[in-house]
Structure 1
Amino acid sequence: MRALLVDRSAPGGLRLGEAPDPVPAPHQALVRTAATSLNYGEVRFVLESAPEGAVLGWDAAGVVERAAADGSGPAAGTPVVTLGGDGGWAELRAVDTDLMGVVPEGADMGAVSTLPVAGASALRALDRIGPILGRRVLVTGATGGVGRYAVQLARRGGAEVVAVTGDPEGRGAALRALGAHEVIATPSAAGAPVDGVVDMVGGRQLVEAYEQLGQHGTLVSVGHSGGDAEHFPYGTLYGDMGRHDRSVVSFHLLGCTGLARDLTWLAGQVATGALDPGTSWRGSWEKFPEAAEELLGRRLHGKAVLDIG
């Protein structure tokens, strides 16, 4: 099969080449991939430490070529969206059946490929906050892949959504169209306390967002794009003055159960237009270096999609 192989002598650190077809385990289906979407973490961190010749890629959408031998998961010929620790940047992918969701017939596979990491992370983060109907939820990094989905899902869940972006004037209209009630430049501009935070930035912004939590509030740490450490000044973790029972939590998406159900539901929402995938760059996988440069340069506000084949 053809795949994007790690090759640090090539532009962007990848080249199209030949790799052995994956051999599925009994609980895995073999999927012929149609599209993949890029995530900042895999391009920025995973690629730089991966061995030469490796096939990476977390997100991919395609069609089941061979169903799982143990009878689990969808049948051959079913359109699916898939998640995994690697293997998404290839024509064929072996995928655990509990990490794939069924996609409605005729859906845009490129749009659906944006879901596994970004959409599922946003959904699980909001779930971790708890009931959000009538609650105030702050989303940092709101123009990124996870952030855009978090804004939309929080609004659909009945929350008052406060979106944080470095350019409120330039991006405010787009974020309001997605469902944000307020668009601000920093978490400290939130004013009134918030009940939950979905944080994609980490570092100083995470600390600042935590300070906006009211009592019983939860901050869910999802991303670390800021690249700096979290230093909590003395007194930040005091529990008095309306700060009782606040928490910071994290999760690992591949450690979650029930993702097949999540991915199936999310795929249906994208297919019907109820969720906007926010594709801001799309092209052939031969143009990976161009997409990676845009992503790493923080010039993309949304997702980059590669069409495979």
Structure 2
Amino acid sequence: MRALLVDRSAPGGLRIGDAPAPAPAPHQALVRVAATSLNYGEVRHVLEDAPQGAVLGWDAAGVVERAAADGSGPAAGTPVVTLGVDGGWAELRAVDTEWLGAVPEGVDLGAISTLPVAGASALRALDRIGPILGRRILVTGATGGVGRYAVQLARLGGAEVVAVTGDPEGRGDALRALGAHEVIAAPAAAAAPVDGVVDQVGGRQLVEAYEQLAQHGTLVSVGHSGGDAEHFPYGTLYGDRGRHDRSVVSFHLLGCAGLARDLTWLAGQVASGALDPGTSWRGPWDRAQEAADLLLGRRLHGKAILDIG
């Protein structure tokens, strides 16, 4: 099969070449990939340390070529969205059926490929916060992949949404169109305390967002794109003055059970138009390095999609 291979001698460290087709385990389906979406974390961190010849890729969508031998998951011919630790940047992918969601017929699989990491992380982070109907939810990194989905899902869940972006004037209208009620440049600018935070940035912004939490509030630490450490000033963790029982929760998507159901539901929301996948860049997979450079340079606000084949 053809795949995007890690090649240290190639510009950007990637080239299209031949790789062995995956041999699915009994609980895995073999999927013919139509599109993949890139994530900042994989092009910034995973690609750096990957061995020569590796086939990377967390997110992909395609069609089941061969159903799982154990009878789990969708039948052959079913359009699907897939998640994995690698293997998404190739024509064929073996996927655990627990990380595979069915997609309605006729939907753009490129748009669907944006869902696994970004959409499922946003959904599970909001679920960890708890009931959000009528609550104030703050989303940092709101113009990124996870952030865009978190804003939309929080609004769909009945929350009052506060979106944080470095460019509230330039990005405010777009975020309000996604469902944000309030768009601000930093968590400290929030007009009132919040009941939950979905944080993609970490570091100083995480600490600042935590300080906006009301009593019983929860901050879910999903991403760490800021690159700086968290230092809580003395007194930040006091529980008086309405600050009782606030928490910071770590997060790892692959530690969540039941993701197949989540991916299927999210695909249905994109298919119906209830969720906007936020495609910022799309092109053939031989332009992968162009997309990666845009992500690394923070010049994309949304998802980059590669069409495979």
Same fold (TM over 0.5): yes
Contact persistence 1:126–1:154 (CA under 8 A): yes
Matched, 1:140 2:140: yes
The residue aligned with 1:253 is 253
Matched, 1:151 2:151: yes
Matched letter for residue 234 of structure 1:
Y
The residue aligned with 1:280 is 280
Gaps of 5+ in 1: none
Cα-Cα RMSD = 0.5
The residue aligned with 2:172 is 172
1:192-226 deviation digits (Å, cap 9, x = unpaired)? 11000000000110000000001000000000100
1:36-90 deviation digits (Å, cap 9, x = unpaired)? 0000000000000010100000000000000000000000000000000000000
1:261-307 deviation digits (Å, cap 9, x = unpaired)? 00000001101111000000000000001000100000000000000
Query: Aligned partners of 1:113 and 1:174: how far apart in 2?
Result: 22
Query: Aligned partners of 1:12 and 1:249: how far apart in 2?
Result: 35
Q: Would you identify which runs of 4 or more consecutive aligned residues in structure 1 move more than 4 Å?
A: none
Gaps of 5+ in 2: none
1:116-168 deviation digits (Å, cap 9, x = unpaired)? 00000000000000000000000000000000000000001000000000000
Matched, 1:6 2:6: yes
After TM superposition, the score normalised by the length of structure 2 is 0.99
Deviation at 1:191, TM superposition (A): 2.7
Alignment of 1:261-272 (within 5 A): 261-272=261-272
Matched letter for residue 79 of structure 2:
P
Query: Aligned partners of 1:218 and 1:254: how far apart in 2?
Result: 20
1:220-270 deviation digits (Å, cap 9, x = unpaired)? 000010011111111111111110000000221111111000000000110
Query: Aligned partners of 2:62 and 2:26: how far apart in 1?
Result: 19
The residue aligned with 2:208 is 208
Aligned partner of residue 81 in structure 2, secondary structure: strand
Contact persistence 1:112–1:267 (CA under 8 A): yes
Query: Aligned partners of 1:275 and 1:28: how far apart in 2?
Result: 28
The residue aligned with 1:114 is 114
Matched, 1:28 2:39: no
Query: Aligned partners of 1:41 and 1:12: how far apart in 2?
Result: 16
Contact persistence 1:122–1:149 (CA under 8 A): yes
After TM superposition, the score normalised by the length of structure 1 is 0.99
